[in-house]
Amino acid sequence: MNEKKSILKNEGFQAILAALICIVVGLLVGFIVLLIINPAGAWDAIVAIMQNFMTRSSGPARLKNLGNTLVKTSPLLMCALSINFCYKVGLFNIGAAGQYVAGAGMCLYAGLAWKLPWFMCVILAIVAGGLFGTIVGFLKAYCNVNEVISGIMLNWIGLYLVNMLLSGVKEPSSPYTLKLSSVNPGGILPSLGMGAFFAKNKYVTIAIPLSVIIAVVVWVVLNKTKFGYELRATGFNKEAAKYAGMNEKKNIILTLMIGGILAGLGASFFYLSAIEEWSVTQSSVPAMGFNGIAATFLGGLNPIGTIFSSFFIQHITLGGSEIDMSVYPSQISDLISAIIIYLCGFVLFFKLVMNKSGSGKGGHKK
């Protein structure tokens, strides 16, 4: 047995290496695009993207911007966990985007129209997201409808339902929903003093530590519990799972329900931090759920890895807004971060290449 090979074969090592390669390639391609558009400012722009909050001159401003990045990381992490969890059971939960929308609509409506306290809003977001997930799971288990198809359709149904619902609680003169801070301050997630640490960033709430804790819980559930054992067995080989007496239909529905709960919870983490309002005229499903797919793969399909990949994706997305807008058109920041996120999806490809190149020495034996 060759020791050197075994390191390259190590799953964790492979995942991290593949993620790093993706990041480097993504930054490189982004840099090339910047060079093509305007060579003069390309270097400054790519540096700005990578530095994000570090571009700010003062310490407190940096901290405050780091806080913003973290606020946006927690909902992305939740969406990524939703997709990751389902993926382990062999289900591709592209409906996470719609489950996120459902959660957003429900928690905002509960906060703005009913003026419920924050924890009630969170619970309702969970219920809405979970319900959307359950519908997909039910269709999959009992009607054999592919979860990708029903998920995507529900994304759109969810978007327009929520637009309709939230039209009742919007500003009279703009498409945005009312400000939670003025209508119902009790609907905002508690900060527990963390905001003060991030230079009085009022958007920093318990959502950030909670999402990290949930990531760890998801990992534990998948890898250490009987429930996770069943779910992963179903994902690997559902015939064998059936043979072993596992209830496949129940597990599919449960899995997608949990996926929906995670995504719905993510939405409440975002909108109940009051960092942004919902625009009832938007005609595309928020990208959070889809970026969750990139975060999942970049995180090596591991809930813990997803914590870091989610942060990275939000880091470069916000970094994009630091680009000098007098040199580049305003769309460039989205374009560059989109390119990098897109390339994150190539993690599995790089892993495959690594396995191929080493197969002469240590491939699987039949």
Question: Which positions lie near other proteins, rule CB under 8 A?
Answer: 1, 6, 224-227, 229-230, 232-233, 236-237, 239-245, 247, 359-366
Cα–Cα distance, 138 to 118 (Å, whole number): 30
Cα–Cα distance, 285 to 262 (Å, whole number): 17
Q: Reduced to 3 states, what is the DSSP secondary structure of residue 321?
A: coil
Cα–Cα distance, 253 to 248 (Å, whole number): 9
Whichever of 193 and 245 has its CB closer to other proteins, that residue is: 245
What is the smallest separation between the CB atom of 237 and other proteins, expressed in angstroms?
A: 5
Whichever of 176 and 227 has its CB closer to other proteins, that residue is: 227
Name every residue whose Cβ is closer than 8 Å to that of residue 143 and which is 6 or more positions away in sequence.
none
What is the smallest separation between the CB atom of 216 and other proteins, expressed in angstroms?
A: 14
CB 338 within 8 A of CB 72: no
Whichever of 240 and 353 has its CB closer to other proteins, that residue is: 240
What is the smallest separation between the CB atom of 356 and other proteins, expressed in angstroms?
A: 10
Whichever of 11 and 334 has its CB closer to other proteins, that residue is: 11
Q: Tell me which amino acid residue 53 is.
A: F
Cα–Cα distance, 162 to 153 (Å, whole number): 14
Whichever of 172 and 365 has its CB closer to other proteins, that residue is: 365
Q: What sign results for the dihedral spanned by CA atoms 312, 318, 322, 323? A: positive
Cα–Cα distance, 121 to 69 (Å, whole number): 23
Nearest CA among 257, 235, 262 for reference residue 248? 235
What is the smallest separation between the CB atom of 144 and other proteins, expressed in angstroms?
A: 14
Whichever of 141 and 295 has its CB closer to other proteins, that residue is: 141
Whichever of 247 and 279 has its CB closer to other proteins, that residue is: 247
What is the smallest separation between the CB atom of 86 and other proteins, expressed in angstroms?
A: 17
Burial (0-12, 13-18, 19+ Cβ within 10 Å), 321: middle
CB 324 within 8 A of CB 44: yes
Cα–Cα distance, 97 to 358 (Å, whole number): 37
DSSP, residue by residue, 227-239: HHHHHHHHHH-HH
What is the smallest separation between the CB atom of 91 and other proteins, expressed in angstroms?
A: 16
What is the smallest separation between the CB atom of 217 and other proteins, expressed in angstroms?
A: 12
What is the smallest separation between the CB atom of 50 and other proteins, expressed in angstroms?
A: 37
Q: How far is CA 301 from CA 7, 54, 308, 309, in A?
A: 19, 29, 12, 10
